[in-house]
Structures are given as C-alpha cells and as structure tokens.
Structure 1
Amino acid sequence: MTRNILLGAAAAILAAAGATLFAGSPHPHATNRAIVSAATAADAPAPLYYQDPDGKPLYSPTPKKTEDGRDYVAVPAPTDMSDQPAIQTKSDRRIRYYRNPMGLPDTSPVPKKDPMGMDYIPVYDGDDRDDGSVRLSPGRIQRTGVRSEPAELRRIRTLVRAPGTIQLDERRVSVVAMRAESFVQKVADVTTGSRVTKGQPLMDIYSSAVSSAAAEYLATITSKTTAGIEPYGRGSRQRLVNLDVPNPVIAEMEKSHSVPTTIQWSSPRDGIVLQRNAIEGMRAQPGDVLFRIADISQVWSTVDIAERDLGHVAVGQPVTVRARSYPGRNFESRISVIYPQVNKDTRTARVRIELANADLALLPDMYVDAEIDTGAPAPVLSVAESAVLDTGSRQAVLIDKGQGRFEPRDVKLGRHGDGYVEIRDGLAEGDAVVTSANFLIDAESNLKAALKGFAEAGENATGARP
C-alpha cells in the first residue's frame, strides 16, 4: 500500500516536471537536439593544430587555407594529452619492456618504480623499429615546436667578402722624360693633381742634341741635292723621333723651314698629374722623369682573398665593390685576374678587378670592400642549414614521414649560403625535412637505440642462464 502511494507520487512529480519543461517550447524534439548538440560541443576537445588536407607535413596553430582555397583539417588533442600514437592504441600491442622515466640506461621486464616513486615507461612492439625512425604523438610535436619544409631547388648565393684598395691601371700611366741632356726653359701652370688633356703644353725645353738633329733634317729636306730623295729625309726625321720630339713640332719645322730655339713638350694623354719634377732653369739628364700622368677613368681594385676561399673564386665571377668613402654606392664589375701567388705571411691571394671610374670618384690607394658572388648560376637541391645534424664525421637530416614518424638519413653537403646548404646526395626534391627541434628528435632516437641495446643485452643474459 505504501509502495503504491510512493510510485504514484513520483509519477505525478515527473509529469509536472515534463509539463513545465515543454510548456514554453513549441518543438520539444528540436529542444532535445539542441541540448544534445551543445553537450557534444562542450565535450569535444579543442583542436591541437591544423594539418594540410592532403596529409602533407604542413601544420598551422590557427585555422588556415591551402593555396587552392581548401581548409586545413583540425587535429583534436587527445583527451588525456598522452604521448600515444594516433593510429594504433598501445593497449592492442605487446609490452616488450619498461624503461627508466629519467632516461637512465635501466630497463625492466616487469612494471617497476624508480627510487623517486616514478613508474617506469612501457615500450611497445613497433616503438623500437630497426630503421632508426622515431614516432611522436601530435601533442609532443606541438609542444616541442617541430617544423618541416620540403627540399627544393634554389640558387645558393655564396658571398666571399674581402678588403682591398684602389690602384692605377698600369696601362694608363705615362711619364714625360728627356732622351738627351736638356734645360727646362719654362713650365706651364700645371701642378701635381691638375687634370690635363692630351696635347696640352707642359713645358719648353732647350736641347743642343735636338737642335742639331732638327738643323740636319731641315738641311736635308731643303737642299737642292737631297730635297727630292726620300731616304735622306726619312733618316734625319727618324733621329728627331728617336729623341721623342713631339710630332706637331716636327710638322711645324717642315712647314716653316726653321729650327726653333726651344721645343714645346705636351701631355701624351688625358689624365691627372701625379708627379711634377720639372722646375724652370733646371738641367735634365737623359731618363729624368719630369712629369708623371695617369688616366684614372678606369682603375683597378686589388683585393686579398683568404686561402680557404680560393677554390670558390674564378675569373669572370661578378663582384660588387663598395668604397668606404661613398656608403650606399656600389661599383659592379667582374674578376679579371687572379694573381698566381699566395702571401706567406697573410695566407691570402690577390685578385684584380677593373672598375669604370667616369666621375673620377675612386682615387688611388682608397680602401674598398669587395663581395664576390661564388654561387652556381643553376639552382641546386637544398635545405635550411638548421635541418642538418653535423657530427663532424657524419651529416644527416630527419625525414618527416608523416603521422608523427621521423626517419634519419645521411646526406652529402655542398655549398652554403643565404641560410641554406646544397644537398648533393641523400635527398630528392620534395622530401620533407625537419628544420626545428631536430636535435630533440635526434636525442630521442639515440636514447631509444641505447635502451634497445640494454634490453637486448638483458634478454640475452636471461636466456643464457641455466
């Protein structure tokens, strides 16, 4: 009797609650669906990261679209944030052994705790592959900051930097010197540093040897006996040429039929007077340099290349020269000569670069800095320098195989430059390589190999016991 009364009261209460719940809802089934959807959305874990929809090793911490407009796929975080692989649960696999949680070389065939009370970590079948690959969960990939990018064809621009100076072009330097004893009668208003043009008067010279040769030549060409005989006149004229008498002076003598008292010497080229030794009234001996003139519209830049970089430098490579006096201004050219000698004190070799200097901005002995582009003109397969694990005797990269699996691979390196390194062997175009956190993965791989060795040694020792 009492039981029937309690059941009836409970039914009345449930009916009243149901009437109250649906009193304000014209669509009770829609309300149920909304409640279920809200509960499901609340229970669903937030995306850990977003991955390329084609499964490529391309990730993003925020929603992103591919180049063709497709959305990246959201990868939810595991509910317990464990480091278990996403494909196969560890409960379906056999536990081979347990390893020390602190990474110490200590394993156990049964569950165990370390002296601090921490549980040993189980190692399952498939976790210790013989190919040296490492498997990480999405959670660990996200936390350790693993990034990958494909190997691509790039032109590696390698710059060799070297200091140097501006030097005169040896082919554009002239001197004015006497070939016979002479006296300087007069010097033009030309000083060291003056710009002169070809044919501009420099000084007036008196020379007895020149006057004697000129008189002989005029006598030959004006004599009734030898005037019409060309060989006679040719020999006398050649004597004046040998004394370096300017051609305009000889032509004037042939026209006037008179021997000038002084001979006017002129500039042999356009350029700048680098040296003036001529003084009015001085006596000049044969070979004395009275003027030194250089054309600096084209100059040389000689730079010192370190011995270790000589193998990358060749004639014809492009060079950018910057003068310290003109910051921001570049002088472009190419290597013209590599001198066949190494300085035994500095271990450098000299390289010559010819530079156009139309505005005469570059002056002799001016300091410059050169950048030589030694990169190959054709693109080569390359990866970021941060992707290479270099032990000195071995170079390797970590290949991102997808699904959290990473495989080490030996490679042969080539040129370095612009943050990239050439891969000559070991990779193919498009292979995804790890560019960040690769040292952590490498450490994980080494630890796994060491633990596997200890475990195998323990199993062998157990099997060998009587």
Structure 2
Amino acid sequence: MNTKNHKLYLLLLALMYSTTGLASGDHDHENEPTIAQTEHADHDDADTDEHGHGEEENTVHLSDEQRQAAGIEVEALELHPLAEEIEAPGEVSLNAYATSQITPRIEAQVVKRFARLGDDITEGQPLVMLSSATMAEAQGALLIAAKEWHRVKKLGKQVVSEQRHLESRVAYQQAYSRLLAYGMTEKQANQLVNNSAIGKADGSFTIMSPQNGTVIRDDFIIGQMAQPGDLLFEITDESTIWVEARVNPGLMRQVHVGAPARILSSGKWISGKVIQIHHALDEVTRTMAVRLEIPNPGDHLHPGQFVTTRIETGQSDQTVLSLPTDAIMRSPDGDWQVFVEKEPGEYEPVEVEVIRQIPGLAVIDGLAPGTRVVIKGAFFIQSELAKSSFEVHNH
C-alpha cells in the first residue's frame, strides 16, 4: 500500500470511530433528565417544602388556654381619620406653677441645714435653721404683748376701759403678725406664746418646705449671712414639666389651648397638651412660644433639654389604617410584620409597611380593612413561631 492510500485508510477509520461516539453520546443523553426537567423537579421539591413544612413554619396554632394565658386580643382593621400636626423645636423648662424658691425675709445667719440637693421633700418638712437679731426682737415683743393681752382679757371690760382692751389686743396681733412676716410659721409662733419662755426668744427659727418636690438648688453654706431675697433652696415637683415650643407666627391660627401635643426625646414620643399660648414674638427668634405640659414619670426630662415638638391642629380628610405599636414586630429579615388571624387560634405573619408612627400607634399599609389582626400578645406568637421553625429545621 503506497503512502497516499495509507493516509486515506487512516482518515476513514477516524471518521468511523467519530460517528460511533456521537451515536453513543446521543443514546446516553436520552436516558438522562434534561436541564428543564431537573429544574422542574427541583421546583416541585421546593413547592412540596413550601406547601408542606413551609406552611407549618409560617403558621402558629394556639389552644384556648394558651391564648388566654398570653392575653391574645384580635381586632378587625378599620379606617380612621389622620391627625394633622405642625412640628417645631422646643426646650424643656420647669413647671413654674409647681416650683418654690426659699429665701429669708430678714437678714439672718445660716445655723443648720436639714435638706440637700436632690432630696425628695414633703410639705412642712424642715429645710434650714436661721438666726437673726431682728427676729429675736420680734419674738421678745410678742411675748410681752401676749402676756399683757392675757392679763387684760382676764380682768375683763368691767375693770379696764374699752380703749385699753382694744390697744392690748391690737398690740398682740401686730407682734404675732410680725413674726409670721419675718418667716416663722403659725405653729412656731403659737409654741413660743404658749410656752412663755423668755429663753426661747433667741432669734432662731426654722424655714419649712411649702410643697412636695425635689431640691434642685441649695447654694449656701453654714454660717453664711443671708440677705432678704437670697436664694437658699429651690424645690420643684418634677412629675410634670413644661416645654416651650417655638412656632412660626404664620401657623399660630391653627394652634389652640387644650390641643394634643407630643415631644420626641431620646428616641421616644411623650404625649401632652397645649396649656398656654404667648402673645408676643420672641425678639431673637421671631417665633411665638406655645407652652406644653408634659408628664415626666421617672424624671427623664430636665430643664434646658432641647426636644422636637408636634402639635395637633385637627384631622384631615385622609383615612388610614393604624395599629398599636406593640402589635407590629420585626421579621427575621428585618421587615415589619403583623399576625393575621386565619381562624380562631391560627395566626400567620404578614409583612406590612409602616408609613408613620405616633405615640402608641403606627400607621400601616399592606392590609385590607376588615383584616383581623393581633393587637395584644404578638410577641408571644412571634416567640412560638420562632420555636416551631427551630424544631422543624432540626428535623
């Protein structure tokens, strides 16, 4: 066989084996599932999991006893009018109507203190003892006048003249009133008169607290000579405070006394109300001051603190769906969700969009009016859902 025929023979052999391999490959692929068939099978498996175990994972079943123990409450969603508000910066200040300043009425020396900064004080509690020469003179004059008045009363009008009886009575009343004006209480003055002890007229007296509250200032020291009007103590009841909201004058027609209001402090909204409206512009900010009264449980708000305020001005024509903030939970992927009652004792998480939050309520979207939603006990249902999901995945 010459070289040319040998090459042709090898080429024919190569073509024959190539054809045989292709036929064998096609036959094998016919017995294997196609890509589409594989994806379809996977999809069927996913559907089985989703509609089998998946459905169980996303549904919580509770017995009557569990619902009662957890305090589960369900309510049908209803549309409500949306409140309109104006927003303004504000500053926390003392409630001046619940604050007292303790000052001496005469020149006196500080002898002893009974209260300190931060102390909780009750009305009538001793605060500070003072000593004054002016008070000593007044105490002595009261003892003399009281003794004379007691003698004149005992003799009666049959023995002393009407004029003498009147002069003695007036002298006693003036001496008694002078002690009260200098800072003694009626109880202290009566004790002095009833004891009739000359040694007690030493000029010492104790200033009592005029109200319940907390000591927020006590800038003095023992031995200090205090002048009339010097501030010794400042006491305030911090259960309610004021917030001065600075409102644009152009919006003042929408603000009314008694309107609901709220402030944002440390990420939390606190509800209150408008109690007063100023009638003069601030010379610096050119704004109008609106005074809000805000409850302050726990003493978390303090004078000088800046906050954001919102004041309701009425209700708009727009209606919205709202739920208590405790009814809205975070899903595992971070979205907001609520629990919808499919039937009594069966609850399913449904994602919603939180459009706006107001104190105690959240305005939502994503559900139809009439949907029955858990408004109390959502945290318990979420914990039960988490436990059931954990158990399913462990299996």
TM value normalised by structure 1: 0.44
Structure 1 residues 346 and 273, CA gap change in structure 2 (3 angstroms): same
Distance in structure 1 (CA, Å) of the matches to 2:232 and 2:319: 63
SS at match of 2:111: strand
* Structure 1 position 343, deviation (Å): 3.5
Q: 1:249 aligns with which of 188, 195, 198?
A: 188
Whether the 8 Å contact between 2:183 and 2:207 is mirrored in structure 1 is no
* Structure 1 position 167, deviation (Å): 0.7
Partner residue, 1:213: 138
Structure 1 residues 157 and 287, CA gap change in structure 2 (3 angstroms): closer
Q: 2:220 aligns with which of 257, 265, 278?
A: 278
Check if 1:233 corresponds to 2:183: no
* Structure 1 position 168, deviation (Å): 0.8
* Structure 1 position 240, deviation (Å): 0.8
* Structure 1 position 237, deviation (Å): 0.6
Per-residue deviation, residues 424-461 of structure 1 (Å, max 9, x unmatched): xxxxxxxxxxxxxxxxxxxxxxxxxxxxxxxxxxxxxx
Whether the 8 Å contact between 1:226 and 1:232 is mirrored in structure 2 is no
Partner residue, 1:360: 299
Q: 2:119 aligns with which of 194, 204, 218?
A: 194
Question: Counterpart of 2:216 in structure 1: which amino acid?
Answer: L
SS at match of 2:301: coil
Distance in structure 1 (CA, Å) of the matches to 2:101 and 2:175: 25
Distance in structure 2 (CA, Å) of the matches to 1:162 and 1:207: 50
Partner residue, 2:110: 184
* Structure 1 position 345, deviation (Å): 4.8
Check if 1:173 corresponds to 2:112: no
* RMSD over equivalenced CA pairs, Å: 2.8
Distance in structure 1 (CA, Å) of the matches to 2:217 and 2:299: 18
Whether the 8 Å contact between 2:123 and 2:211 is mirrored in structure 1 is yes
Whether the 8 Å contact between 1:300 and 1:352 is mirrored in structure 2 is yes
Partner residue, 1:320: 262
Distance in structure 1 (CA, Å) of the matches to 2:83 and 2:187: 56
* Structure 1 position 227, deviation (Å): 5.2
Check if 1:203 corresponds to 2:128: yes
Unmatched tracts of structure 2, length 5 or more: 1-78, 155-164, 321-354, 357-395
SS at match of 1:198: coil
Check if 1:163 corresponds to 2:67: no
Per-residue deviation, residues 103-150 of structure 1 (Å, max 9, x unmatched): xxxxxxxxxxxxxxxxxxxxxxxxxxxxxxxxxxxxxxxxxxxxxxxx
Partner residue, 1:298: 240
Whether the 8 Å contact between 1:220 and 1:227 is mirrored in structure 2 is no
* Structure 1 position 369, deviation (Å): 1.9
1:55-454 map, 5 Å: 155-188=81-114, 190-223=115-148, 225-226=151-152, 230-258=169-197, 259-261=200-202, 262-324=204-266, 327-328=267-268, 330-343=269-282, 345-376=284-315, 380=317
Whether the 8 Å contact between 2:215 and 2:236 is mirrored in structure 1 is yes
Structure 1 residues 211 and 282, CA gap change in structure 2 (3 angstroms): same
Per-residue deviation, residues 236-262 of structure 1 (Å, max 9, x unmatched): 111111112122211221232222432
Distance in structure 2 (CA, Å) of the matches to 1:203 and 1:345: 40
Structure 1 residues 154 and 290, CA gap change in structure 2 (3 angstroms): closer
* Structure 1 position 368, deviation (Å): 2.1
* Structure 1 position 263, deviation (Å): 1.3
Per-residue deviation, residues 394-423 of structure 1 (Å, max 9, x unmatched): xxxxxxxxxxxxxxxxxxxxxxxx99xxxx
Distance in structure 2 (CA, Å) of the matches to 1:191 and 1:252: 27
Whether the 8 Å contact between 1:187 and 1:202 is mirrored in structure 2 is yes
Whether the 8 Å contact between 2:82 and 2:319 is mirrored in structure 1 is no
* Structure 1 position 214, deviation (Å): 1.2
Unmatched tracts of structure 1, length 5 or more: 1-152, 385-417, 420-466
* Structure 1 position 322, deviation (Å): 2.6
Structure 1 or 2: more helix by fraction:
2
Whether the 8 Å contact between 1:227 and 1:233 is mirrored in structure 2 is no
Moved over 4 A (4+): none
% identical equivalent positions: 25
Question: Counterpart of 1:298 in structure 2: which amino acid?
Answer: T
* Structure 1 position 216, deviation (Å): 1.3
Higher Cα Rg, which structure:
1
TM value normalised by structure 2: 0.52
SS at match of 1:374: strand
Structure 1 residues 235 and 227, CA gap change in structure 2 (3 angstroms): farther
* Structure 1 position 212, deviation (Å): 1.2
Distance in structure 2 (CA, Å) of the matches to 1:336 and 1:299: 11
SS at match of 2:258: coil
Q: Which has the higher contact order (CA 8 A, sep 6+)?
A: 2
